[in-house]
Amino acid sequence: EVQLVESGGALVQRGGSLRLSCVVSGFTFTSHWMSWVRQAPGKGLEWVANIKEDGSEKYYVDSVKGRFTISRDNARNSLYLQMNSLRDEDTAVYYCARDDFYNSCLDFWGRGTQVTVSS
């Protein structure tokens, strides 16, 4: 059974930092791109970043470029999102998701972790 479990969400002050983690199981982690997607309160889904199987390519939505860093540890079946210089608008539930690169969709997701940025 494919499982993705996020952790690390918290209440953090504006300008602060946070590191999210996602541990996966039930599939070959090294065979898949991985993504982070977020949903702000009362808003829709927004793709945040993704990373290639070996970590050699990374892409970000414009609003987080230079502030967020996606990474992975294939030995630990883990995906990470380092979030710096947090803003109020980064408040959201953050989901870890597996990229189905062939079909260009996200075929498995975690339950998400809540990040709240407060002054």
Partner 1 sequence: SYVLTQPPSVSVAPGQTARITCAGYNIGKRSVHWYQLKPGQAPLLVVYDSTDRPPGIPERFSGSNSGNTATLTISWVEAGDEADYYCQVWDSNSDPYVFGSGTKVSVL
Count of residues that bind partner 1 according to CB under 8 A: 25
Determine the Cα–Cα distance for residues 64 and 86; give it in Å rounded to an integer.
9
Determine the Cα–Cα distance for residues 22 and 49; give it in Å rounded to an integer.
14
Toward partner 1, which CB reaches closer, 20 or 97?
97
Dihedral pair phi/psi, residue 110, rounded to 5°: -90, 180
Q: By CB under 8 A, which span of 12-20, 46-54, 74-82, 84-92 interacts with partner 1?
A: 46-54
Determine the Cα–Cα distance for residues 47 and 110; give it in Å rounded to an integer.
14
Does 111 sit near partner 1 (CB under 8 A)?
Answer: yes
Q: Tell me which residues in 47-106 interact with partner 1 (CB under 8 A).
A: 47, 50, 59, 61-62, 95, 97, 100, 103-106
Q: By CB under 8 A, which span of 8-16, 17-25, 71-79, 110-118 interacts with partner 1?
A: 110-118
Toward partner 1, which CB reaches closer, 35 or 80?
35
